[in-house]
A and B are shown apart, each in its own frame.
Chain A
Amino acid sequence: MDYKRLDNHDIEMLKGFTAPDRFSTGESVKTLHSKDQSRHVCMLPEAVLWPLNESEVSNILKYSNEQRIPVTAWGAGSSLEGNPLSVCGGIVVDFTMMNRVLDVREEDFQADVEPGVIYKELNKRLRHKGLFFAPDPGADATIGGMIANNSSGTRTVKYGATRANILKLSIVLANGEIIRTGTRASKTSSGYDLINLITGSEGTLGVVTCATLRLRGLPAEFSAAVVSFPSVESAGKAVFEIIRSGLDPAALELLDRGCISLINRNTGMNLMERPTLFIEYHGPSISYIGEVMEVTRELCASSNSLDFRSGIGRDERDKLFSSRHRLGEMIVQNHTDCLFLSADTAVPISAYPEIIAMAREEVEKGGVTAYIFSHAGDGNLHLKFAGRKDNRDDWRVINEINNRVVSKAISLGGTATGEHGVGIGKRAFMAEEHGNSLIWMKKIKELFDPNGILNPGKIFL
């Protein structure tokens, strides 16, 4: 595709659609929007805009479409695959000023929000109403970015990924047209399901300007446990047993020894430095969860657990989960001279012990630094590699391992990306995973965005 570089006229027009103080071509602003949390090289946009409402967004898109100017949406820039980077230049539309919670309907378990709302802020506001929005990626992500990436988190094993928690969207299409899709009703079989097409499309089919979210009631009771294992394989096996038995955990996180020692160092906690599961249950009564915990203890014991500590109080549980949420940052801070690559495969749960064994062996053989930690209950495996910035050998080995792990996952019936999205980094695996259905994804892209202005250079090679 041929794109136009911004000229003075474009700049005047775009400024006019927003306001002088909500438009910038300043170097520092552009630099801030040139990288996400991945290792992908910086890519500078030509300008950054902060719209305030849907009609501004619509004007920006309509004009950009006519002029063939690439438009990349920006939430918090916390992606791990280069998803919000301006591969082909153009403008970044930053949604952080569209951050109002428009309505909370407690009775319906629903909230209408703008895309720039940070989900953690939303949950703070909802707390005293006894409600929460369940998907919880380990970053200060925006609702718009979560919808675009179909993000997950520790709660996904029980409450689903972002997709399962969206009821209605307002979308601006590439040509500036505004459509609303979905309903406040709990279900619908009316027309084609555009919500699910937009969700997970990484800002390549349309831009989200408003979302009706499905909220959940805070559980009446919860209970958490920390369980240590001799190896990641035995922990992986326990994960399989727990899911298979239908115990329905509200979180089931696996962390290898390296992660635990990092957490100990950063938080002053004193966890046993062994491969570990963080497990949580939600339920209606203490006696019920107690019973479930007992079954869990037996299942873990049959997978050779070393230590099983349940009955953890709210404070410690909050500390555990907040350290789990901050683990990504801790790893980054622990290796200031490194760049990072996150493998993010998911496999059918029975193949989980196998993929995790393979990942561990590969890392050991390759002699590289990598952390294994995962939303294990979903069959998701994260392998976060740290490679020294200019060390070619590190990166050669890391890339080789990454390719082998992803291919293995796909051959086990799994996927190249469980939650981070395709972005730039996973494009190469799309053909292997999707075969000829990839063509139909491209056709949909062409239909929605014939001029290819929306987040070009993503998903498809």
Chain B
Amino acid sequence: MIPNNALAELKKIIAPGSLLTGPADLEEYATDSTKMRFMPDAVAFPSTGEEIAQIFRLANREYFPIIPRGGGSGKSGGALPVKGGLVLAMDRFNRILHIDTENLIARVEPFVITETFQNEVESLGLFYPPDPASADASTIGGNVAECAGGLRGLKYGVTGDYVLGLTVVLPTGEIIKTGVETMKGVAGYDLTSLIVGSEGTLAVITSITLKLLPRPEAKKTMIVFFRVIETAARTVSNIIRGKVIPATLEFLDRMSIECVRSHIKFPIPDETEAILLIEVDGSEMVVADDAEQVRKICMSSGATEFRLAASKDEVEEIWEARRKVSDSMLDLKPGKISEDVVVPRNRIPDLIRFLEELSKKYCLPIPAYGHAGDGNLHVNILLDNTPDEKKRGEMVVRELLQRVIDLGGTITGEHGIGITKAMYMDMEFSPPAITLMKQIKGVFDPNNVLNPGKIFL
């Protein structure tokens, strides 16, 4: 709870009309895309780093939690006020400050919507590759905080690969700048990487320097159908081994296809068990060669049909359908547990086989889709929300994560630990590693006022 005197002081710190306390107003900030619900005590809309610094000083004195929030599209509950407190809605930090077309660098405030930024740089002939499927709802700040991946991870990496520097407010109320504006630098410790992916638990980000690329000249989009799911999984490795690195290599199993079928206009062959969505980009010449190479590899690996998207509309339709998969899962069943596991790429067939076993063993549908090129699958355990099914769901999760770790993988590729994965941290990290991370948290946030209850149990 935020004490009343602290609320009064908050009003003095931020501009009039920048503090919400009415229950109806708070509702929107009580949830994110996990659909879990935790009421905050208040929501503030700061407009400068200095205001945030003052809010932190107050929070340290009066001892209430601060929870930064971007677009609220997070899938691990990072922005949820699990212990009440003040949600710091970053909405007013929504400016693209500078796009430097000479150095291929941009500086943005954290609440710039990912897609808005992508479009802006593309209109200048440049390219910002990170492309979470939630690009229309997520913010760059949220992407940095989660180290978001996305559809172009295979060739272009994840958000962290594009962050050159940050301005942040630390929980102690200090404002620091980290990083460089050069393509390389080794002076001292890499604080930038430490804050990237820290899920809003070490600092509040107020400005971000990003690296850009020149926009690729051309791209080609392909859709490939398989009758045997493992064949699709194996084809993923075959493509990379064939020396083609597609920008995008997405996998959808039969149930994932089912739930977006109404969005797809092209025919899907009977008995299709899996689809790969592939996009290659680069110069006109390379793209044509690569697409042909991909076709050959897919067909010789056992695909039943290969289709090159014929028009811009068809391309858009394909990606639109892909982006809808996550939300459409709930059309199949009222409940789901979504996992975000990654294994070394050539272990995907093992993982897929294991999912089938789990589905049989626990009598639950377990569709999977995702960034197969990265070895990253979003595994969904669908439930009727009965206590019995929920319990079985939990058992599936434990077995799944254990197998993923045994295969050399990680329990979250891009969604973060937040609250939904916190109880599984000890499966991936040994006690000394977790202790060290907690101690780092303690250095930055001695009173644990910033986003408490996340990552660590």
**Contact in complex: B289, A285 (CB < 8 Å):** yes
Q: Roughly how many angstroms separate A435 CA and B433 CA in the complex, as a whole number?
A: 29
A191-B417 in contact (CB<8A): yes
Complex CA gap A378/B440 in Å reads 32
| Bound CA–CA A346/B185 (angstroms) | 7
* Chain B residues positioned under 8 Å from A184 (CB to CB): 344, 408-409
Q: Given the complex of chains A and B, what is the CA–CA distance between A107 and B344 in angstroms?
A: 9
Q: Judge if A459 is at the interface, Cβ distance under 8 Å.
A: yes
Within 8 A of B (CB), among A80-127: 105, 107-108, 110
In the complex, the answer to whether B194 meets A189 with C-beta atoms within 8 Å is no
Q: Which of A26-34, A265-273, A415-423 makes up part of the contact surface?
A: A415-423
Closest chain A residue, CB of each to CB of B105:
A348
Q: Is the CB of A441 within 8 A of B191?
A: yes
Shortest Cβ distance from residue B26 to the other chain A in the assembled complex, whole angstroms: 28
Which residues on A sit within 8 Å (CB–CB) of B119?
none
B290 interfacial contact with A, CB 8 Å: yes
Q: Name the residue in B412, B429, B433, B444 with the highest tally of chain A Cβ atoms < 10 Å from its Cβ.
A: B433
Task: Indicate whether A161 reaches chain B with its CB closer than 8 angstroms.
Answer: yes
Contacts of A420 in B (CB 8 A): 186
Would you call A187 an interface residue if the criterion is a C-beta within 8 Å of the partner chain's C-beta atoms?
yes
Cβ contact within 8 Å between B290 and A284: yes
Known contacts A194-B436, A435-B176; A188/B412 CB under 8 A: yes
A178 engages B184 (CB within 8 Å): no
- Which chain B residue has the least Cβ–Cβ distance from A205? B189
- Contact partner of B191 among A108, A217, A437, CB < 8 A? A437
Contact B437 A194, beta carbon cutoff 8 Å? yes
Q: Which residues of chain A are near B186, meaning CB under 8 Å?
A: 149-150, 161, 200, 415, 417-422
B176 touching A440 by the CB < 8 A rule?
yes
Q: Are B187 and A291 in contact (CB under 8 A)?
A: no
B425 touches A196 (CB 8 A): no
B180 touches A414 (CB 8 A): yes
- Which of A48-56, A65-73, A361-369, A425-433 is found at the contact surface with chain B? A425-433
Once the chains bind, are B187 and A422 in contact (CB under 8 Å)?
Answer: yes
Give 1 or 0 for each of A226-269: 1 = CB within 8 Å of chain B CB.
00000000000000100111100000000000000000000000
Chain B residues, Cβ within 8 Å of A180: 430, 433
- For the complex, what is the distance from the CA of A379 to the CA of B183, rounded to whole Å? 7
Query: Is A333 engaged at the interface, CB distance under 8 Å to the other chain?
Result: no
Q: Does A185 reach chain B (CB closer than 8 Å)?
A: yes
Q: Kindly supply a per-residue 1/0 record for chain A positions 377-391, scoring 1 wherever the CB is within 8 Å of any chain B CB and 0 otherwise.
A: 011100000000000
Q: Is the CB of B188 within 8 A of A441?
A: yes
Q: A173 near B: Cβ within 8 Å?
A: yes
A356 vs chain B, min Cβ distance (A): 14
Q: Are B243 and A437 in contact (CB under 8 A)?
A: no
Interface pair B436/A173, CB less than 8 Å apart: yes
Residues of B146-176 contacting chain A, CB below 8 A: 146-149, 153-154, 157-158, 160-161, 170, 174, 176
Which residues of B have CB within 8 Å of A287? 285
CA distance A443 to B153 in the complex (A): 34
B412 touching A418, Cβ below 8 Å: no
Q: In whole angstroms, how far apart are the Cα atoms of A191 and B425 in the complex? A: 8
- State in angstroms the CA–CA spacing of A42 and B187 once bound together: 23
State which of A156, A199, A244, A445 has its C-beta within 8 Å of the C-beta of B102. Answer: A244
Taking a contact as CB atoms under 8 Å apart, the answer to whether B183 and A378 are in contact is: yes
In the docked arrangement, what's the CA distance between A445 and B102, Å?
A: 37
B158 surroundings in chain A (CB, below 8 A) = 187, 189
Chain A residue at minimal CB-CB distance from B212: A246
The answer to whether A429 touches B182 (Cβ under 8 A) is no
Q: CA–CA, A190 to B105, complex, Å?
A: 27
> Residues of A contacting B367 with CB < 8 Å?
none
B180 & A186 in contact (Cβ 8 Å cutoff): no
Asked if A438 lies at the interface with its beta carbon under 8 angstroms from chain B, I say yes
- A347 and B411 form a contact (CB under 8 A): no
Which single member of A150, A185, A192, A418 contacts B344 (CB below 8 Å)? Answer: A185
Which residues of the other chain, B, contact A173 by a CB distance below 8 angstroms? 432, 436
Chain A: CB-nearest residue to B290: A284
Q: Is B183 within 8 A of A107, CB to CB?
A: no
Q: Do A291 and B430 touch (CB < 8 A)? A: no
With a cutoff of 8 Å between Cβ atoms, the chain A residues found around residue B243 in the complex are 217, 220, 284
Does A346 contact B183, Cβ atoms closer than 8 Å? Answer: yes
User: Would A191 and B437 count as touching, CB distance under 8 A?
Assistant: yes
Please measure, in the bound complex, the distance between the C-alpha atom of A217 and the C-alpha atom of B242, giving whole angstroms. 10
Contacts of A441 in B (CB 8 A): 188-189, 191
Known pairs A379-B182, A380-B184, A443-B443 / 14 extra A-B pairs, C-beta < 8 Å: A150-B186, A173-B432, A183-B408, A186-B342, A192-B440, A194-B433, A194-B437, A245-B214, A414-B185, A415-B187, A422-B187, A422-B188, A434-B188, A436-B176
18 chain-A/chain-B pairs, Cβ below 8 angstroms: A107-B344, A163-B190, A173-B432, A185-B409, A189-B414, A191-B434, A193-B197, A194-B436, A197-B193, A197-B194, A244-B214, A284-B243, A288-B285, A417-B185, A418-B186, A441-B188, A444-B443, A447-B443
Q: Which 10 A-B pairs have the closest CB atoms?
A: A246-B214, A196-B193, A184-B408, A185-B342, A415-B185, A188-B410, A350-B102, A437-B176, A183-B410, A413-B181
